[in-house]
Amino acid sequence: MKTPRMGIPDRLAERMSMAEQHEWLMSQRPSRRSVFRAGALGAGTLLAGPSLLGSAASAGTGPTLVTTNSTADGASVAPFARHLAFGADPRRQIRIGWQVPTPVRRPFIRIGTDPSDLSGRIPAEVRPLHSEVPGAAGPVDQYYLHVELDGLRPDTTYYYGVGHKGYEPPAGAISTVHTAPQRGRWDVQPFTFTAFGDQGVSPHALANDGVVAQQNPAFHLLLGDIAYADPSGQGRPVSATGANGTDIFNPTIWDSYLGQIEAVASRVPWMVATGNHDMEALYSPDGYGGQIARWDFPGNGPKACPSVYSFIYGNVGVISLDANDVSNEIPANLGYSKGSQTSWLKSRLKFLRRQPDVDFVVVFFHHCTYSTTNAHASEGGVRAEWVPLFDAYRVDLVLNGHNHIYERSDPLRGGSPSKAVPIGGTVHPDTDGTTYLSVGGGGRSLYSFPAPDSYAGHVNDAASVNTYSWTGVGVKTPEVVTWSRVRYTGYSFVAVDVTPARLGQPATLTVRAVAESGAELDRVTLVRTAGLCTVGSRGVSGAKADFDAA
C-alpha cells in the first residue's frame, strides 16, 4: 500500500526534536486535518495533499514549546493514554489523541476497516506542554499527540494503532472506533450514551469506567472536573504547595488520569466539558491551554471557549457549555467569553430545533442548575444566563457535575416544577419542562444532602428541601424547593438509552442512574412525538432546515 507523504520530509524529521517538528508543521500548515477517503477502502487510501495539524495550542497563546533535543530510541518508548473524540460531525470526523513519556520522532497512526490491513502512517500533531510550577522540584514536560481524521464513513468500525519511529503498534494494541450513523429516521438505531462528572484518579473512578464500558456507549460525556491536577479549583495562580492563597497544582496527575481512562476512552469518544478544577492558571488563555494540548475539541463553538461545542448523534443534539463563564460561586473566569457563549448557545439551540431528525436536545456543563447539596447547591449564574434559553427551546435534558452525588429534578419550566415524576415515571418535555441531573459521583469524593437520600428501593420523598443558590458573586440566597425528586450519596453515573421514533411510535430517551456496583438507582423516560415541538420549523416557521449541517 502506498503511503502518502503529508508531514515532515523524512530527512528533516530525523534531525528534529519534537518541538522543532511542531514548529515546522505549524509553519507549513495549509489545512488542519487528514482526510481519510473511506470510499477507497481496502485498507483505506489516504489522499495526498491536506496536511494535518494545527489547532489552538500555538506558541504565544497555548502551552510553551519544549526545547529539549533529546529523543529516546523509539523502540523503548511505549505510547499510552489513547483517547478518542468526535469532531463537529461524528459521522465523518474522529480525533485520536495519546501521549508518550519522552520525545519520539515521527509519531503516527495507522487506521482501516480491516485490522490486518491498516493504512500507511498518518503523521500526528505534536502538542508539547511545558509546566514550571512555583515551588515544584523541577519543570514537567508532557508530550501529547493528535490526529484529526475527516472523511470517514458513517456507521463504520475502524481499527487503529498508534506508533512512532522505531515503534509499530503491536496487534494487541489495535483499538476500535465507531462513527455515528447517517442522519435520518431510517438510519438511526437505538443507542446508549453515558455521562458523569468529577472523576479524578481513584479506585472509584476506575470502577465507574468499568461499568460505563459495560453499557457499550456510543460516546461518554465528562461533565467537568476531570483530573483534579488543581485540587483547589479556584482558578487562582498556582504553586506546588498552595502557599499564599495560590491553587495547588501538579500537572503529572494528568498522566495518571489519561492512563486510567485509556481502557474505555481508547474505544469510546470521551467528550469533555470544563469545570472549576479545569481552570489551570498556569496555562493561557484563560487557564485552558493545558486542556487544548490534551483534548481534541470539536471546535464549532465560540472562539473564546475551547470546550464549548455541539454535535448531532442520531436523533440527539448535544451541546457542551463552559459554566465557569457564568459562575457566581467561583468567579475566576466569570464573563470571560464577553457574552459570546450565551449568544452562540441561542443560535445553536435554534439550529437544533430546526433539524427535522433531531428529537432530543441534551445540554451538559459543570455547575449545577438545580441541586440541593450542602456543598455547592445551585449556580444562580446558570439560571440567570441560560435557563430562559433552555425553556424557550424546550431543552429536554441538562446534565451537570460539580456536586459529588446523583440528584434528579422534577421537570421544570421557569424554575417551577410542573409535576412530580417518581422513579420509573415518564416526562413529556415539550409540555412538562426540562429535567435536570447532577451527576458528580464520577470518582473524586462524595458530598452530602440536607435531606435524606431517596433512590430505587430506598424511596424517601421530601416534601421540600431547604437549600440555596449563588445569586451573586459570594452571595448565597436561601430557597425552599420541591423539585428534588431523587438523591443518592454514592459513586455513580448515568446511562441514557435513546430510541428514535418509528412507525407512529414516539422517540424515547430513558435515563438510568447506575451505581459503581452496577445497581440501578433511578429511571425516567422522556418521550417526544416526532415532528411535534412547539419551537423550531417543524411546520411552524417554515424555515428550511439545514439537514446536513453538523
- With contacts defined by CB under 5 A, name the span among 44-52, 63-71, 179-187, 190-198 that binds Fe ion: 190-198
Query: Please, which residue, 169 or 275, has the CB nearer to Fe ion?
Result: 275
Work out how close the CB of 373 gets to Fe ion at its nearest, in angstroms, rounded to a whole number: 11
Query: Please, which residue, 276 or 320, has the CB nearer to Fe ion?
Result: 276
Burial of residue 538, with CB atoms counted within 10 A of its CB: 0-12 exposed, 13-18 middle, 19 or more buried: middle
126 DSSP β-pair partners: 145
Residue 204 binds Fe ion (CB under 5 A): no
Work out how close the CB of 440 gets to Fe ion at its nearest, in angstroms, rounded to a whole number: 6
Work out how close the CB of 429 gets to Fe ion at its nearest, in angstroms, rounded to a whole number: 26
21: three-class secondary structure by DSSP:
helix
Work out how close the CB of 225 gets to Fe ion at its nearest, in angstroms, rounded to a whole number: 3
Work out how close the CB of 313 gets to Fe ion at its nearest, in angstroms, rounded to a whole number: 26
Using DSSP bridges, classify how beta strands 360-364 and 397-400 pair: parallel, antiparallel or unpaired.
parallel
Question: What letter does residue 325 receive in the DSSP assignment?
Answer: G
Q: Which residues contact 51 (CB under 8 A, 6 or more apart)?
A: 6, 7, 25, 28, 29, 30, 31
Query: Please, which residue, 95 or 366, has the CB nearer to Fe ion?
Result: 366
- With contacts defined by CB under 5 A, name the span among 75-83, 198-206, 289-297, 406-414 that binds Fe ion: 198-206
Q: What is the rounded CA–CA span in Å between residue 546 and residue 193?
A: 25
Binding mask 276-305 for Fe ion (x = CB under 5 A): x-----------------------------
DSSP run (H or E) holding 176: strand 175-178
Measured at the CA of 501, the angle between CA 497 and CA 506, to 5 degrees, comes to: 90
Q: Which sign does the torsion angle of CA 98, 313, 150, 116 carry? A: positive
Residues 380-439 that bind Fe ion (CB under 5 A): 402
Number of residues binding to Fe ion, judged by CB under 5 A = 5
Q: Which residues contact 505 (CB under 8 A, 6 or more apart)?
A: none
Residues 475-494 that bind Fe ion (CB under 5 A): none
Residues 225-264 that bind Fe ion (CB under 5 A): 225
Choose, by CB under 5 A, the member of 20, 141, 148, 198 that binds Fe ion: 198
Measured at the CA of 319, the angle between CA 145 and CA 405, to 5 degrees, comes to: 90
Binding mask 309-338 for Fe ion (x = CB under 5 A): ------------------------------
Work out how close the CB of 287 gets to Fe ion at its nearest, in angstroms, rounded to a whole number: 14
Residues 209-228 that bind Fe ion (CB under 5 A): 225
- Residue 67 in grid coordinates: 526545547
Work out how close the CB of 385 gets to Fe ion at its nearest, in angstroms, rounded to a whole number: 18
- With contacts defined by CB under 5 A, name the span among 75-83, 201-209, 269-277, 318-326 that binds Fe ion: 269-277
Query: Please, which residue, 198 or 407, has the CB nearer to Fe ion?
Result: 198
- With contacts defined by CB under 5 A, name the span among 3-11, 194-202, 297-305, 353-361 that binds Fe ion: 194-202
- With contacts defined by CB under 5 A, name the span among 108-116, 197-205, 390-398, 422-430 that binds Fe ion: 197-205
Query: Please, which residue, 150 or 198, has the CB nearer to Fe ion?
Result: 198
DSSP secondary structure of 102-169: S--SS-EEEEESSTTS--S-EEPEEEEEEE--TTSSS-EEEEEEEEEEESPPTT-EEEEEEEBTTBPP
Query: By C-alpha distance, which of 128, 159, 125, 127 is closest to 41?
Result: 159
Work out how close the CB of 381 gets to Fe ion at its nearest, in angstroms, rounded to a whole number: 14
Place of cell 435531606: 451
- With contacts defined by CB under 5 A, name the span among 39-47, 274-282, 508-516, 518-526 that binds Fe ion: 274-282
Query: Please, which residue, 225 or 379, has the CB nearer to Fe ion?
Result: 225
Query: Please, which residue, 399 or 533, has the CB nearer to Fe ion?
Result: 399
Place of cell 452571595: 475
Q: What is the rounded CA–CA span in Å between residue 391 and residue 245?
A: 39
- With contacts defined by CB under 5 A, name the span among 181-189, 192-200, 212-220, 458-466 that binds Fe ion: 192-200
Q: What is the rounded CA–CA span in Å between residue 92 and residue 149?
A: 8
Work out how close the CB of 289 gets to Fe ion at its nearest, in angstroms, rounded to a whole number: 20
Work out how close the CB of 169 gets to Fe ion at its nearest, in angstroms, rounded to a whole number: 35
Residue 275 binds Fe ion (CB under 5 A): yes
Q: Which sign does the torsion angle of CA 412, 418, 424, 427 carry? A: negative
Measured at the CA of 275, the angle between CA 274 and CA 281, to 5 degrees, comes to: 85
Q: Which residues bind Fe ion (CB under 5 A)?
A: 198, 225, 275-276, 402
